[in-house]
């Protein structure tokens, strides 16, 4: 389901813009960027590309949101060296010299008076030849105008404070830049004039008399960690009051890492940690962009996102900018995905208590005009989604029903549409055998529905109503999400065709794959429209952040041309990195449509198409996908390997997936690992290990009725199969019957087909073939209704085995059934299903009185050889032993004693392995 409306643009804040030394440095570089071309040394720019690179760099500085604090002068100088090539030395000298000259308020007045001259406008001065005039409405022009306006509004005390901060800002970088400056002065045969400019600054005497002693004390304390620190170097700093020695190599080492790599000291230690006592946040636009990026990262990585590091950063932001109520929302997300119910509830209440949820939500204004109270229903939606996440379906429905009532009272159509979609998600994901008493009290379409309608029918009505409202309100994300939900509904719920009507019309219920494909196509078509509607923050901020983070990469790239012997020709195309202008939430929806395609083709029985759609997802949507979606696709590919290539390749892929994804409780990777272990244990005859795995699966499922339905179904199915392998037929049948009742109660018709087929296999193995026939036929009926072609082929094979077990008179009937299912089995079935079909076909030939082994023995032997090879890959000892037994029987009739003994030896080997499973030295199990 699409999330409720998210903030699109940052709201205005009280401390909108503060003039800092870093912004003054950017203004100085802007002045350099707008200088006219010179004909005498020093030459600022030797080429147009140098000039363009500096412009791109300045634009990125004002737009990037890779951190909340402004970069230090040392970092700024290092980046200038990286982007400017031979011009870097001149730019560094020019910037440091101009900063050191701003030693009094009068110098700042003169500087900002000069800066007005590079702005275009009606009152602009006459410009010189080749001078750049900034458009006042451009990004750089707006930045400069805000700096000038903020300077004009400064009080004298604030002006003196800015002068002092500039001095501290310069002296902080002077110690690290000393060797480089000395080298430059030696090469140019100059004296120490540049260094003396720093030493002759008299800022402190002008403002405060005793600042010199303070700066010296701070310089002595500079060994401690600066504010801007990367996570892997500060893990021991999570405990308060512990000092961490800074690693000087960590400034850029992890710059290109994920956003959750940033860790900041606790808020109580700000003054002690920062050596110069000043922490400067970036502009509000950049901080808001940083928070939006962190929200995306939390939703993408969910439980694998570092909880402590994120909490530290959010605590710092809350201390430095209390008016940023969005911090509470990020703390809510962080607690939600780390399964901390009480912290999530507390932060959600704080967010809506402090901000009323009014931070830029993209919703349609209510007709009553009461926007202040129109945010209560948004809080209810998030509260309902929180209950949904923690597995409280009844509480979620109650909260969402209240949101429906309040949205109607406030005439908030947008929130009403999102609430209906959330209710559909609850009814779809969680098992509600009856919605009476929860729905039908507040929303008119629900009250008009017949009370005899099932939950599935109510879900269909609500989905249609939600889609209709979303289309009328032009909520494109919600429209696409509803199409995706309808595709899932059409996939799992059988309906009567609308084209058949009248008294003689067929009452047979079926699913319609064409409807599923249609809804998925509509979902993709609507999402593609977002390529032209990306927000400015998303586009500019993401490009700028990635461009700055990729500076070290671009300098080390051997594909870029060299200029003057330096690897620093960073062309403009590096700015336009491989970032999509489509919002990440939209890309996630589009990726979800490919996951749904893969699931649909799995159910319909087309293994190649299911695999192709999974590979498309991993190739095209890996960067934008959430970790849970990416893990589910990897799980599908691992299961495909196990079915078609055996467990060895599957376990190797599983090992890689475990290293990539965090295997927490109920994670998809953990579930697929347990499934593979159980299947392999059953094939090898290790029933003790198989039962242990079943117990682990059962423990993972919630005890709440209707929650974790799929997990409970999987655990019960595997428990019944384990009992069947142990020849405990009555217990296996009891578990299967109980599972069938649960699936029927919650309208899980697709799972019912599998359970009925399992009951048929139980009766077949127990020797009651006649009792197994109705279950096999019922499973076939379900498969036909839901277009489960591969499961239908498997049910047909089971039906043929049942007929064959009734006697040799039914061999031809069984053979006819097998030949009808062989195209599907051989084209899309796995190794086990193909081997079963080949063994059963061989048994049909051998049981047929009209078949002579002496005339056409190779037909049977070829089938048995292929089956034995496939079963040995799977280590399926029981079926492999049966295949070699039949081979020995055929060779004995043919009089080929040597081959008979070889087949008999293989039969004995597999029977011994089945009766005495040895897993202590198993290399695959030792991998984990």
Instruction: Specify the long-range contacts of residues 176-184, CB closer than 8 Å, at least 24 apart.
Output: 176/74, 177/74, 177/77, 177/92, 177/96, 181/96, 184/89, 184/93
pLDDT digits (tens, 9 = 90+) for 795-815: 999 999 999 999 989 999 999
Q: Report pLDDT for 569.
A: 41
Structure token digits, residue 381: 């939606």
Note whether 307 and 333 are within 8 A (CB).
no
Give me the pLDDT at residue 824, please. 95
Residue 130 and residue 144 in contact, taking contact as beta carbons nearer than 8 Å:
no
Task: Supply the pLDDT for residue 551.
Answer: 61
Tell me the backbone φ, ψ of residue 647, rounded to 5 degrees.
-80, -25
* Least confident span in 363-377, 511-525, 648-662: 363-377
Percent of the chain with pLDDT over 90: 34
Alpha carbon distance 895, 520 (integer Å): 60
Comparing 293-297, 349-353, 845-849, which segment has the lowest mean pLDDT?
A: 293-297
Buried b (16+ CB within 10 A) or exposed e, 726-752: eebbeebbebbeebbebbeebbbbbbb
Q: Best-predicted range by mean pLDDT among 443-457, 514-528, 710-724?
A: 710-724
- Rounded CA-CA distance 399/384 in Å is 5
pLDDT, average across residues 824-830: 94
> What is the reported pLDDT for 846?
92
- Looking at residue 527, what is its pLDDT? 63
Q: What is the pLDDT of residue 925?
A: 63
3-state helix, strand, coil in the chain (%, to 5): 70, 0, 30
Higher-confidence position of 921 and 270? 921
Q: Which of 55-69, 122-136, 552-566 has the lowest mean pLDDT?
A: 552-566
Residue with tokens 């008979």: 900
Q: How far apart are CA 636 and CA 646, in angstroms?
A: 14
Mean pLDDT on 492-521:
71
Angle between helices 284-301 and 542-549 (to 10 degrees): 80
In whole angstroms, what is the distance from residue 352 CA to residue 332 CA? Answer: 11
pLDDT at 444 over 70: no
Q: Residue 873 pLDDT more than 50?
A: yes
pLDDT of residue 154: 87
pLDDT band at 16 (very low <50, low <70, confident <90, very high): low
| Degrees, nearest 5: CA angle 817-821-827 | 160
- List the one residue out of 916, 918, 897 whose CA is nearest residue 908: 916
3-state DSSP call for residue 126? coil
**Which residues fall within 8 angstroms of residue 487, CB to CB, at 6 or more apart?**
515, 516, 519, 520, 523, 593, 596, 600
Q: How confident is the model at residue 756 (pLDDT cuts 50, 70, 90)?
A: very high
Residue 27: which of 69, 66, 61, 51 has the closest Cα?
61
pLDDT for residue 629 is more than 80: yes
Q: pLDDT tier at 319 (50, 70, 90 boundaries)?
A: confident
**Average pLDDT score over residue span 5-10:** 45
Helix 769-785 with 749-766: angle, nearest 10 deg: 160
DSSP alpha helix (H) spans, 34-129: 48-63, 73-84, 87-101, 105-115
Helix (H) or strand (E) holding 898: helix 897-915
- Residue 255 reports pLDDT greater than 60: no
Q: Comparing C-alpha atoms, which of 169, 4, 184, 13 is closest to residue 102?
A: 169
Band of pLDDT at residue 780, cut at 50, 70 and 90? very high
Q: How far is CA 838 from CA 352, 799, 848, 860, 903, in A?
A: 64, 15, 15, 9, 17
Stretch among 373-382, 426-435, 784-793 having the lowest mean pLDDT: 426-435
Distance, CA of 295 to CA of 288 (rounded, Å): 11
pLDDT at 437 over 90: no
Per-residue confidence band for 175, with pLDDT thresholds at 50, 70 and 90: low
Confidence at residue 143, expressed as pLDDT on a 0 to 100 scale: 85
Q: What is the overall mean pLDDT for the chain?
A: 76
Lowest mean pLDDT among 272-286, 344-358, 604-618: 272-286
Residue 48 CA to residue 572 CA, distance in Å, equals: 11
Rounded-to-10 torsion of CA 477, 483, 487, 489: 100
CA-to-CA separations, 287 to 278, 304, 314, 550, 712, in angstroms, rounded: 17, 23, 11, 20, 44
**For residue 114, pLDDT beyond 70:** yes
440: nearest Cα among 482, 398, 411, 407: 398
Share of the chain above pLDDT 70, in %: 69
* Rounded-to-integer distance, Cα 761 and Cα 768, Å: 10
Under 8 Å between Cβ of 757 and 791: yes
Tell me if residue 192 falls in helix, strand or coil. Answer: coil
Mean pLDDT of 305-333: 80
Query: What is the reported pLDDT for 66?
Result: 63
Least confident of 1-5, 63-67, 686-690: 1-5
**Would you place residue 192 in the very low, low, confident or very high pLDDT band (cuts 50, 70, 90)?**
very low
Weakest-pLDDT range from 155-159, 544-548, 602-606, 714-718:
544-548
663-717 per-position pLDDT tens digit: 666 788 999 999 999 999 999 999 999 999 999 999 888 888 778 888 999 999 9
Q: Work out the pLDDT band at 568, boundaries 50, 70, 90.
A: very low
Handedness of CA 138, 143, 144, 149 (dihedral sign): positive
Diameter over CA atoms, the chain: 115
Q: pLDDT: is 420 or 204 the higher one?
A: 420
pLDDT, greater one: 120 or 833:
833
On the question of pLDDT at 747 being above 60, the answer is yes
Q: What is the DSSP string of 805-873?
A: HT-GGGHHHHHHHHHHHHHHHHHH--HHHHHHHHHHHHHHHHH-TT--TTTSHHHHHHHHHHHHHHHHH
More confident position, 914 or 192: 914
Using an 8 Å Cβ cutoff, are 799 and 773 in contact? yes
The pLDDT of residue 146 is above 90: no
pLDDT per position as a tens digit, 213-230: 443 444 444 333 332 223
pLDDT in tens, 877-908: 999 999 999 999 999 999 999 999 999 999 99
Torsion of CA 700, 701, 703, 704, to 10 degrees: 140
Quickly count: other Cβ atoms within 10 Å of residue 762's Cβ.
Answer: 25
Query: Is 465's pLDDT higher than 70?
Result: yes
Phi and psi torsions of 548, nearest 5°: -65, -40
Mean pLDDT value of segment 844-870: 91
Q: Does position 742 have pLDDT exceeding 70, yes or no?
A: yes
């Amino acid at each position: 389901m699409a999330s409720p409306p998210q903030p699109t643009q940052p709201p205005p804040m009280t401390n909108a813009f503060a003039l800092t030394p870093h912004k003054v440095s950017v203004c100085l570089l802007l002045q350099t960027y707008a200088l006219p071309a010179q004909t005498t040394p020093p030459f600022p720019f030797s080429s147009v590309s140098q000039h363009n690179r500096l412009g791109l760099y300045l634009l990125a500085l004002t737009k990037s949101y890779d951190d909340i604090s402004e970069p230090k002068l040392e970092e700024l100088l290092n980046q200038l060296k990286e982007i400017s090539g031979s011009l870097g030395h001149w730019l560094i000298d020019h910037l440091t010299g101009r900063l050191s000259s701003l030693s009094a308020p009068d110098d700042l007045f003169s500087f900002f008076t000069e800066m007005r001259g590079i702005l275009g406008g009606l009152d602009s001065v006459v410009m010189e030849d080749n001078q750049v005039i900034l458009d006042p409405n451009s990004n750089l022009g707006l930045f400069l105008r805000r700096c000038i306006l903020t300077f004009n509004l400064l009080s004298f005390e604030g002006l003196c404070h800015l002068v002092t901060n500039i001095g501290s800002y310069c002296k902080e970088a002077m110690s690290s830049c000393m060797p480089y400056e000395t080298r430059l002065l030696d090469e140019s045969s100059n004296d120490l004039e540049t260094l003396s400019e720093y030493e002759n600054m008299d800022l402190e005497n002008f403002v405060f008399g005793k600042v010199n002693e303070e700066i010296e004390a701070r310089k002595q304390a500079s060994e401690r960690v600066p504010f801007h620190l990367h996570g892997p170097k500060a893990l021991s700093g999570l405990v308060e009051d512990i000092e961490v020695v800074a690693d000087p190599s960590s400034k850029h080492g992890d710059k290109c890492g994920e956003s959750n790599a940033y860790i900041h000291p606790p808020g109580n230690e700000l003054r002690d940690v920062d050596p110069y006592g000043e922490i400067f946040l970036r502009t509000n636009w950049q901080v808001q962009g940083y928070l939006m990026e962190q929200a995306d990262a939390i939703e993408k990585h969910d439980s694998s996102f570092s909880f402590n590091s994120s909490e530290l950063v959010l605590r710092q932001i809350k201390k430095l900018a209390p008016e940023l109520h969005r911090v509470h929302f990020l703390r809510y997300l962080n607690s939600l995905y780390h399964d901390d119910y009480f912290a999530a509830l507390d932060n959600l209440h704080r967010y809506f208590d402090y901000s009323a949820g009014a931070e830029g939500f993209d919703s349609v204004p209510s007709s009553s005009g009461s926007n202040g109270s129109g945010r209560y229903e948004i809080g209810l939606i998030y509260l309902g989604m929180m209950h949904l996440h923690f597995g409280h379906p009844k509480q979620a429905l109650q909260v969402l029903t209240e949101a429906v009532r309040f949205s109607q009272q406030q005439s908030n159509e947008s929130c009403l549409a999102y609430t209906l979609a959330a209710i559909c998600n609850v009814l779809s994901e969680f098992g509600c055998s009856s919605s009476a008493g929860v729905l039908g009290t507040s929303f008119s379409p629900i009250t008009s529905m017949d009370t005899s309608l099932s939950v599935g029918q109510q879900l269909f009505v609500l989905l249609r109503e939600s889609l209709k409202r979303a289309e009328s309100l032009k909520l494109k994300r919600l429209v696409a999400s509803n199409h995706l939900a309808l595709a899932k509904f059409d996939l799992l719920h059988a309906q009567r065709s609308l084209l058949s009507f009248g008294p003689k019309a067929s009452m047979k219920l079926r699913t319609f794959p064409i409807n599923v494909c249609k809804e998925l196509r509509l979902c993709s078509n609507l999402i593609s429209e977002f390529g032209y509607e990306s927000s400015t923050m998303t586009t500019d901020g993401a490009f700028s952040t990635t461009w700055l983070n990729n500076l070290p990469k671009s300098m080390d790239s051997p594909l870029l041309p060299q200029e003057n012997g330096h690897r620093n020709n960073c062309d403009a195309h590096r700015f336009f990195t491989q970032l999509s202008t489509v919002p990440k939430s939209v890309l996630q929806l589009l990726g979800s449509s490919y996951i749904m395609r893969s699931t649909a083709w799995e159910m319909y029985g087309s293994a190649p198409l299911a695999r192709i759609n999974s590979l498309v997802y991993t190739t095209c949507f890996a960067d934008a996908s959430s970790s849970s979606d990416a893990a589910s696709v990897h799980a599908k590919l691992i299961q495909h390997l196990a079915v078609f290539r055996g467990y060895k390749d599957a376990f190797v892929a599983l090992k890689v997936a475990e290293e990539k994804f965090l295997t927490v409780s109920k994670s998809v990777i953990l579930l697929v690992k347990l499934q593979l272990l159980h299947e392999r244990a059953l094939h090898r005859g290790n029933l003790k290990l198989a039962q242990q795995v079943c117990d682990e699966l059962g423990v993972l499922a919630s005890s709440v009725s209707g929650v974790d339905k799929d997990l409970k179904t999987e655990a019960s199915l595997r428990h019944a199969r384990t009992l069947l392998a142990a020849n405990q037929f009555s217990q296996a049948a009891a578990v299967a019957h109980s599972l069938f009742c649960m699936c029927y109660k919650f309208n899980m018709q697709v799972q019912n087909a599998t359970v009925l087929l399992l009951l048929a296999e139980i009766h077949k193995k127990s020797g009651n073939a006649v009792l197994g026939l109705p279950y096999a036929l019922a499973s076939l009926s379900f498969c036909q209704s839901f277009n489960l072609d591969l499961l239908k082929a498997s049910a047909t094979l089971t039906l043929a085995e049942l007929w064959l077990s009734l006697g040799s008179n039914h061999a031809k009937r069984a053979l006819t059934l097998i030949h009808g299912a062989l195209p599907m089995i051989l084209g899309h079935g796995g190794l086990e299903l193909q081997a079963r079909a080949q063994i059963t076909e061989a048994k049909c030939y051998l049981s047929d009185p009209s078949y002579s082994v002496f005339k056409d023995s190779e037909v049977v032997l070829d089938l048995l050889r292929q089956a034995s090879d496939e079963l040995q890959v799977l280590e399926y000892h029981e079926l492999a032993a049966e295949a070699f037994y039949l081979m020995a029987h055929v060779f004995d009739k043919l009089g080929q004693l040597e081959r008979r003994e070889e087949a008999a030896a293989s039969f004995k080997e597999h029977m011994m392995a089945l009766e005495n499973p040895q897993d202590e030295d198993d290399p695959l199990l030792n991998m984990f």
